[in-house]
Structure 1
Amino acid sequence: MAKFRRKPIVIEAEQWFPGRDVKGVHQHFDVGIGSELDSAPHVHTIHKNQMVIIEPGDWIIPEGDGEHFYPCKPDIFEKTYEPV
């Protein structure tokens, strides 16, 4: 099978921790009683018009439109990106 390397691109990203304001992260969120999210942190970001729960240390990456964001786990981020 042929091998491929990801093309180098520069991205913006910020690592989130509780109490830190990061664009795209909503830290106050009412999930409602009985929701499977009751025990999850009340922190989320919007990715492709869906709520995604994030955890401390996740990297937040803006999509091309600048209005939607997606999280990336620290171990995946470290394997995929390097500082510029």
Structure 2
Amino acid sequence: MARYRKRPVEVDAVRYDGTNRDEVDAFMGQAGKVEETKLPGPGRGLHDGIVIHTLEGDMTASPGDWIIRGVQGEHYPCKPDIFAATYEEA
């Protein structure tokens, strides 16, 4: 079995904080569309979120998630713990 290492790549990203939908919209530009939604929260109730249209289909982002622009200009959400384990500021 061969082992492989992920190539180093820099990405652009913005953190969604629940109040900056316009900033996320501007970040995605013409390449993406953001829609507001309600997501189940911890316990009971709903919290604000956004829907990101990705190459793999619609994905939701909660406050605290990062929105990443990939190497082909695609956008997708990333949970904060995965983002911290995968990326560092360039």
The alignment's TM-score, normalised by the length of structure 1, stands at 0.69
Paired position in structure 1 for 2:36: 28
Paired position in structure 1 for 2:7: 7
Alignment of 1:75 with 2:81, yes or no, is: yes
Cα drift, residue 45 of structure 1: 0.8
- Tell me the matched-pair count: 74
Determine the C-alpha separation between the residues in 1 that align with 2:9 and 2:60. 26
> 1:14, 1:59 within 8 Å by CA — same for their partners in 2?
yes
More strand by share: 2
User: Mind listing any 5+ residue stretches in structure 2 that lack a counterpart?
Assistant: 38-45
User: Mind listing any 5+ residue stretches in structure 1 that lack a counterpart?
Assistant: 30-38
Cα drift, residue 41 of structure 1: 3.7
> 2:49, 2:63 within 8 Å by CA — same for their partners in 1?
no
**Two-structure CA RMSD over aligned residues (Å):** 2.4
The alignment's TM-score, normalised by the length of structure 2, stands at 0.65
More helix by share: 2
Identity of aligned residues (%): 32
